[in-house]
Amino acid sequence: MTHLGYLLVGWGVSLGALGLYAVRVIQRGRQAAARVPANRRRWLASEDAS
């Protein structure tokens, strides 16, 4: 495969950046949710009622 270095850098940085953002947003959500009273986490009441 030609240009393998370029390919790995391009794909790696892309997937890495999106992955990091995903991890960060989930972490931020957990931290914030832990501090908000349960009765105000509104979407969960409707969807995760199971």
Partner 1 sequence: MTTPAISEAPVHTRSTTSRLLGVAVLVGLVALVVLGFFGAPEDDEQADAVRLIFVHVPSALLTYAAFSVTAVGSVMWLWKRSVWWDLVAHGSAELGVIFCGLTLFTGSVWGRPTWNTYWDWGDVRLVTTLILFLLMIGYLAVRSMGGDESAIATRSAIVALIAAVNLPIVNRSVEWWFDRTLHQKSSLTDGNLEDLTLFTLLLGVVVWSIFYVWAMIHRFRVGWLERELRVGDLDLAIEQRRAEAHAAGDGGDQ
Residue type, 46: S
Q: Any contact of residue 7 with partner 1 (CB under 8 A)?
A: yes
- Give min distance, CB of 4 to partner 1, in A: 7
For the chain, what's the residue count? 50
Contact call for residue 23 and partner 1 (CB under 8 A): no
What are the start-end ranges of the H helices in 1-50? 4-35, 42-47
Looking at residue 38, what DSSP letter applies? G
Binding site for partner 1 (CB under 8 A): 1-4, 6-7, 9-11, 13-15, 17-18, 21-22, 25-26, 28-30, 32-41, 43-44, 47-48
